[in-house]
Amino acid sequence: MKRDTQLVGAAGEHLVLSRLLNRQYLAAQAPPGAAKVDILVNHLDDKPPRLIQVKTITGKNINNGWHMSEKHEKMVDPNIFYCFVALGDIDSDVYVIPSEIVATVVTDEMIKWLATPGAKGQQRNYTKMRRIQNQYKDKFDSAPDGWIEQYLEKWELLG
């Protein structure tokens, strides 16, 4: 049975929210349709608030990756983070990654993809689609094999 993508997305957001609250972060869902953000995090001390965008896949095979778009190349802000959720049936993993890292990887991935010939040797066409993966077929420096694993449950990056 095909899963409802809206329910998958909501499950990922609620999982991230639960993990934040459990770690004593003051966190709440952003209003539906809010630009750049799914979850708002406000520290109870003098630290700046954080904005979190959640991306969710079903299953724990992170090598397939998460869909992104060209807009994520430009979302660079020290207060914006991504939580990439690999939603399992029993347990799930969350990778907490700063927006600067994500922007670099999606930009470099597109540059490498365009520079690599397609299956029939043809020049590839530009697309707005991007993908964050744990390992890429076409290698590049900002995302060596297994690079995402260092961000598994790295909630302390929210500082």
CATH number at residue 86: 3.40.1350.10
Tell me the mean pLDDT in the region 129-134: 94
pLDDT band with cut points at 50, 70 and 90 for residue 1 = low
Domain interval for residue 10: 5-158
Number of domains in the chain: 1
Residue 91's contacts (CB-CB under 8 Å, 6 or more residues apart) are none
Could you list the beta-strand ranges (E) of the chain: 26-29, 39-42, 50-58, 66-69, 80-87, 93-98, 129-132
Parallel, antiparallel, or unpaired for β 80-87 and 50-58?
A: parallel
In the predicted model, what is the mean pLDDT of the chain? 93
pTM here is 0.93
